Amino acid sequence: MKRVAILGSTGSIGVQALDVAGRFPERFQVFGLAAGRNASRLAEQVRRFRPRLVSVADEAAARAVRELAPGTEVLVGEAGAVAVASHPDVDFVLAAISGGAGLRSTAAAIEAGKPVGLANKESLVLAGELLTARAAARGVPILPVDSEHSAIYQSLVGHNRREVRRLILTASGGPLRLVPAAELADVGPERALKHPNWSMGDKITIDSATLMNKGLEVIEARWLFGVEPRRIDIVVHPESIVHSMVEYIDGSMVAQLGVSDMRGPISYAMGHPERLPLDLAPLDLARLGKLTFEQPDPARFPAFMLAYRALELGGTAPAVLSGADEAAVAAFLARRCRFPDIADICAAVLEAHAVEPVRSVEQALAASEWGRREAEKRVARAGR
């Protein structure tokens, strides 16, 4: 029996992780849950899974959970999420708190020697070198939950990593893949939020539209797999069937294919090193007929190239880029900037930053916050 803690339990990944846990009650005990302010959903989860420990964002949510699920021990704030992540009785932590808010609890799980299923890419974007070094020192794995990184992880199993030529991350292309450059300035949030393949939160859907999400995944892959940025490529694959690939030095490619359902990579991380028998719809390649691949267009979608620039600058630069992107996307969703402005703002903030080595989680978070503030200043100056 594996005792699991799920951080971000009321979000999309957390809900699907609990679905997986519920399908295999003989394998998983839900020991702890950490959520934000969705007290009603969390209370439903508590009543079903009866975790020993629960954390929420604030006192108002804590009062609501205690009323809806009497007798539950409810902790509050980031310290509560850290306590859930690092509890000595937890065997596995699924880290799915979105954004930089998930970094401290992810780092706490690693420090406590817990295997981590990582759905919070920002943790490695902000402090990838630091966290992977600490995980290696403690001998605990970081198991990727992003479909692309899970695909690469699976494509590396049984192979000699010294024989890897490059990693190839696939991208759906997002909802604006076919929109001409001249029309992008007129794209509003409603159109940019209509992802063709995945149901995700607003922030990550806009990142998919700009291809910033793919750039952040390059940063994540660099630290997860110890591969230099020049050996990490991106290819647009609209069907989202090939989730990513590894090319080896003899020219062979190993890819992981599957239906577009996040329960696949979630269950792979939770069950590792075993695969769990899911009842997902089978992949019917004959019905699909063809799989298409395209080069990403940096002229229309320059955001992903900023990630390579941030890795080139090193240190705090990726954290600054992440913070700037959060602010720019929020401004776009609030109609305070145009779609192309997102990448422009992030580029300006990145180049204005004085890079420092990342020596602590707090420093990484401070760099991200600096990036956010600088981006907000640029939005305000634009006066939209």
Q: Encode pLDDT of 82-107 as tens digits.
A: 999 999 999 999 999 988 889 999 99
Print the domain residue range for 342.
161-259+292-382
Whether residue 331 sits in one domain with residue 206: yes
What pLDDT is attached to residue 99?
A: 84
Residue 153, pLDDT > 70, answer yes
For residues 339 and 297, membership in a common domain is answered with: yes
188 in the same domain as 106:
no
What pLDDT is attached to residue 73?
87
Indicate whether 225 pLDDT > 70: yes
Cβ within 8 Å of residue 201, ≥6 positions away: 11, 12, 98
Structurally, how many domains does the chain consist of?
2
266 falls within a domain: no
pLDDT of 80 above 80:
yes
Instruction: Write down the residue that tokens 């966290």 correspond to.
Output: 131
- Burial tier of 118 (Cβ tally within 10 Å: 0-12, 13-18, 19+): buried
Please compute the mean of the pLDDT values over residues 315-338 and round it to a whole number. Answer: 97
Find, among 89, 100, 95, 35, the residue nearest to 65 by Cα: 35
pLDDT tens digits along 158-182: 999 999 999 999 999 989 999 999 9
The H-or-E segment that residue 232 falls in is strand 232-236
Same domain, 103 and 210: no
Count of C-beta atoms within a 10 Å radius of residue 56: 27
| Average pLDDT, rounded, for the chain | 95
Residues 208 and 349 in one domain: yes
Tell me, yes or no, whether 190 and 131 share the same domain: no
pLDDT, residue 383, reads 66
Same domain for 13 and 94? yes
Same domain? 91 vs 185 = no
- Does some domain include residue 177? yes
Do 127 and 179 reside in the same domain of the chain? no
CA angle 71, 19, 96 (to 5 degrees): 80
pTM, two decimal places? 0.93
**Confidence check: pLDDT of 47 > 90:** yes
Dist CA 193 CA 207 (whole Å)? 10
